[in-house]
């Protein structure tokens, strides 16, 4: 079963064996975002993965068609003292792909994804198809072309997967629609020494969901409304309650797609059901601009 674009089929984030703490930590330090764009009139996916290791920060850019075939992939290895800006170019099906980046002044938080002071641009036959970051003027100077539109690349942000950490509180940011408002998500769950744990989810400090009797309801789904937009929340906290100390909980926030559109026989406990649900129905909803999914792996700090 395919759960991830083929460009990252072998190197995507995996839940590592709990017997190896270092391996697990390495797998967790990845944030992956998926953007839908147009290449020669055809819809494609651009997958950007930001990584963080002891050697520093790095990223990968892959282009995948909707048939789950990898068209190309570029790895920018983690760096520590090396130059943090540059470019790559390659040919894809007789077309030219150029990737430009500058992270020399980038500001990072606790995770591997830059927050500001950077740009990452992907061009296809001299046309901007993806532009990330806040340094758009610098991109213009770097490319030195008046034929490129820098205000809006046309790419649509459709999915994101990341790992979050905590003991009782877990935080993340979410953008439930492309170019929409960024919200603060807080997941609260205390499972240490508590006979009857409770799960609480807040959006911008406002409580939108509470699950009591969590030991009986460790998996489930519930619909919340954020600024008039219905968002389906799936959760699986089995490992928190009944697993080992290295176990993680999984949450998915999905707009405009119901649990009936998961593959037959899958439950929310199945990680593949909670990741990149590349069923035909999901692809159709993304092509129509109807859905966005955020996958959060919540790990308890040791």
- Identify whether residues 180 and 129 lie together within a single domain: no
SS3 295: strand
Q: What is the pLDDT of residues 183-212, one digit of tens each?
A: 999 999 988 777 889 999 999 999 999 999
User: What does the DSSP assignment read for 72-127?
Assistant: EEEEEEEESSS-SEEEEEEEETTEEEEEEEE-TT-EE-SSSSEEES-EEEEEETTE
Least confident window among 44-53, 244-253, 259-268: 259-268
| C-beta of residue 290 within 8 angstroms of C-beta of residue 256 | yes
pLDDT of residue 302: 65
When pLDDT is cut at 50, 70 and 90, the band that residue 28 belongs to is low
Of 5, 57, 72, nearest to 35 by C-alpha is 5
- Identify whether residues 177 and 132 lie together within a single domain: no
- Identify whether residues 143 and 168 lie together within a single domain: no
Instruction: Kindly state whether residue 292 falls inside one of the protein's structural domains.
Output: yes
Least confident window among 109-113, 173-177, 242-246: 242-246
What are the tokens at 12? 């995507």
pLDDT of residue 253: 94
Q: Could you give the CA distance from residue 69 to residue 72 in angstroms, rounded to a whole number?
A: 9
Instruction: Kindly state whether residue 1 falls inside one of the protein's structural domains.
Output: no
- Identify whether residues 150 and 192 lie together within a single domain: no
When pLDDT is cut at 50, 70 and 90, the band that residue 102 belongs to is very high
Instruction: Kindly state whether residue 220 falls inside one of the protein's structural domains.
Output: yes
pLDDT of residue 261: 41
Last residue of a domain, one of 129, 154, 179: 154
- Identify whether residues 243 and 110 lie together within a single domain: no
Q: Count up the domains in the chain and report the number.
A: 2
Q: What is the pLDDT of residues 141-185, one digit of tens each?
A: 777 654 454 445 678 888 999 999 898 999 998 888 766 788 999
Decide the pairing of beta strands 95-102 and 56-65.
unpaired
Q: Could you give the CA distance from residue 140 to residue 203 in angstroms, rounded to a whole number?
A: 36
Instruction: Report pTM.
Output: 0.77
Instruction: Kindly state whether residue 217 falls inside one of the protein's structural domains.
Output: yes
- Identify whether residues 132 and 196 lie together within a single domain: no
Instruction: Kindly state whether residue 159 falls inside one of the protein's structural domains.
Output: no
Last residue of a domain, one of 104, 133, 154: 154
Those residues with Cβ within 8 angstroms of residue 84's Cβ, 6 or more apart along the chain or in another chain: 102, 103, 104, 106
User: What does the DSSP assignment read for 128-170?
Assistant: EEEEEES-HHHHHHHHT-SSS--S----EEEEEEEEEEESSEE
What's the mean pLDDT when you consider all of the chain?
76
Structural domain for 262, as ranges: 164-300
pLDDT of residue 13: 30
SS3 21: helix
Q: Is the pLDDT of residue 277 over 60?
A: no
- Identify whether residues 182 and 118 lie together within a single domain: no
């Amino acid at each position: 079963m395919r759960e991830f674009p083929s460009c990252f089929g072998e190197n995507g984030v995996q839940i590592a064996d709990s017997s190896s703490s270092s391996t697990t930590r390495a797998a967790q330090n990845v944030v992956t975002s998926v953007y839908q764009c147009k290449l020669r009139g055809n819809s494609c996916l651009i997958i950007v993965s930001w990584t963080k290791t002891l050697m520093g920060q790095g990223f990968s850019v892959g282009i995948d068609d909707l048939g789950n075939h990898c068209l190309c992939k570029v790895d920018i290895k983690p760096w520590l003292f090396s130059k943090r800006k540059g470019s790559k170019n390659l040919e894809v099906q007789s077309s030219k792909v150029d990737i430009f980046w500058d992270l020399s002044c980038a500001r990072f938080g606790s995770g591997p994804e830059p927050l500001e002071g950077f740009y990452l641009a992907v061009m296809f036959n001299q046309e901007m198809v993806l532009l990330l970051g806040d340094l758009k003027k610098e991109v213009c100077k770097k490319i030195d072309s008046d034929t490129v539109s820098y205000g809006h690349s046309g790419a649509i942000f459709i999915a994101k997967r990341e790992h979050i950490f905590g003991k009782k509180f877990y935080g993340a940011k979410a953008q439930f629609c492309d170019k929409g408002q960024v919200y603060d998500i807080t997941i609260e769950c205390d499972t240490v020494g508590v006979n009857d744990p409770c799960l609480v989810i807040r959006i911008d400090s406002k409580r939108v969901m509470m699950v009591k009797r969590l030991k009986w309801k460790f998996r489930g789904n519930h619909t919340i409304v954020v600024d008039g937009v219905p968002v389906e929340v799936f959760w699986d906290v089995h490992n928190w309650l009944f697993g080992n100390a290295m176990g993680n909980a999984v949450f998915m926030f999905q707009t405009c797609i119901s649990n009936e559109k998961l593959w037959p026989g899958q439950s929310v406990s199945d990680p593949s059901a909670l990741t990149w649900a590349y069923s035909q129905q999901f692809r159709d909803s993304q092509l129509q601009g109807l859905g966005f999914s955020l996958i959060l792996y919540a790990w308890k700090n040791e």
